[in-house]
Homo-oligomer: A and B are copies of this chain.
C-alpha cells in the first residue's frame, strides 16, 4: 500500500485526491476481514486508542470500536457525561492529560468547531475527527466516497444531489469537499433557511426545487433532519419538510435509473425519506454502515499501523 503522510485526520480539506484513493483502496482490502469467520487481525496489537465523545453517539462510536478491535488494538472509551475530566478543565488540559497516558490515537467528537485541531497541535498522538460542531465529519465522507466508488466503479464525473439542512450539517460539508475533490458534480437543495449563502464558491450548484435537484443524478444523498434541534425559526415544520423534500419514489424516478440513495443515519422514516425508498433497491444506506467499519479500519491502520503489513491470509 502507498503512504499516508499525515499525523491526523482532521478534515477532508487536508487530504489530496491521492490520499483519498489510498484510504479507499486500503479500506477495500480490509473490508474482507469483517466477512470472515474470525474477524480479527493482529495488526494493531499493543496500540492504545482512546474514544473521546463529548457529544452522544452510538453509531459512530460503535463503528470505531469494532474497527479498532478487529485490528486488535486496545480501546478505552470516555464520554463527557461520565467524565469528571471535563469539569472545569480546558480541552487543552484534557488533551495533555490523555497524552500523558501515551495513547497512540485519539478519536474525538466535540460540539465545537476546531476542537480536534487543537488536540492535534497539542499532542503527539494521532487524532481522528469524528465530528466537530458544524465543521467536518471526515470519516463519514470517506465511507460515503467508498460506497459510491464500490457501487459506481468511479467517482469522477458522477452527478450527486445532496438534500437537506446543508447549513448545519458537518456531513454535508465533508461530503461536498470530498466529492468535488474527487471530480463529482454536486447539486445541493433544501429550504432557503438551510442553504448557506455563498455555497457556489465551493463549486456546487444550488437549487431550491428538489425535483430539479435530483433530475438525472447518479447519487442522491439525504441529510438527517435534527428533530431534536428543530425550532420554528429554521423551517416551517416537519410535515411541510416531508411533503416537499421527503424522498419518495416519484422523486427518485426523476434521477437516473441506476441512482443510489444514501443517508448517514439514523433515518427519520417519513420525514427526509419514505420507507419505500429507504428499503428499496436504490438504497445503499446499510452498505454505508458496513463500509464505515472498513474505512475506519483503514484510517487506524494508515495513521498508526507503521510499517506493519496487514495479514490478510
| Contact status A57-B39, CB under 8 Å | no
A102 adjacent to B47 (CB under 8 Å): no
Known: A96-B286, A306-B37. A76 touches B66 (CB 8 A): yes
B39 and A100 within 8 A (CB) = no
| Chain B hits for A63, CB < 8 A | 101
List B contacts of A153 (CB < 8 A).
none
Contact A266 B228, beta carbon cutoff 8 Å: no
Q: Say whether A48 faces chain B, with CB atoms less than 8 Å apart.
A: yes
- A90 at interface, CB cutoff 8 A: yes
Q: Which residues from chain B contact A288 at a C-beta distance below 8 Å? A: 100
Contact A69 B40 (CB under 8 A): no
Contact with A76, one of B62, B89, B94 (Cβ below 8 angstroms): B62
Q: Which residues of B contact A34 (CB under 8 A)?
A: 101-102
Please, which residue of chain B has its CB at the minimum distance from the CB of A271?
A: B88
A78: contacting residue among B36, B62, B86, B268, CB under 8 A: B62
In contact, A266 and B84 (Cβ under 8 angstroms): yes
Interface string of A77-106 (1 = CB under 8 A from B): 011011111111110011011111111100
Q: Contact at B40–A88, with CB atoms within 8 Å?
A: no
User: Could you tell me the distance in whole angstroms from the C-beta of A92 to the nearest C-beta in chain B?
Assistant: 10
Q: Which residue of B is nearest A65, CB measured?
A: B76
Q: How many copies does the complex hold?
A: 3
C-alpha spacing A45/B35, complex, angstroms: 15
Contact A62 B306 (CB under 8 A): no
**Interchain CB contact under 8 A, B69 and A101:** no
Interface magnitude class on chain A: 35 or more
A293 interface contact, C-beta 8 A:
yes
The answer to whether B101 touches A84, judged by C-beta atoms less than 8 angstroms apart, is no
Q: Answer whether residue A222 sits at the interface, using C-beta atoms and an 8 A cutoff.
A: no
* Docked CA distance A100–B94 (Å): 34
Judge if A59 is at the interface, Cβ distance under 8 Å.
yes
Interface string of A287-300 (1 = CB under 8 A from B): 11110110000000
The one of B58, B88, B104 that contacts A84, using a Cβ cutoff of 8 Å: B58
How far in angstroms is the closest Cβ of chain B from A298? 15
Residue of B whose beta carbon sits closest to that of A60: B84
Interface flag for A2 (CB, 8 Å): no
Q: Are B267 and A89 closer than 8 Å at their CB atoms?
A: yes
Cβ of A156 under 8 Å from chain B = no
CB-defined A-B contacts under 8 Å, sample of 14: A37-B306, A38-B45, A39-B47, A39-B74, A48-B66, A58-B78, A58-B84, A59-B84, A63-B101, A66-B76, A89-B267, A96-B286, A99-B286, A102-B290
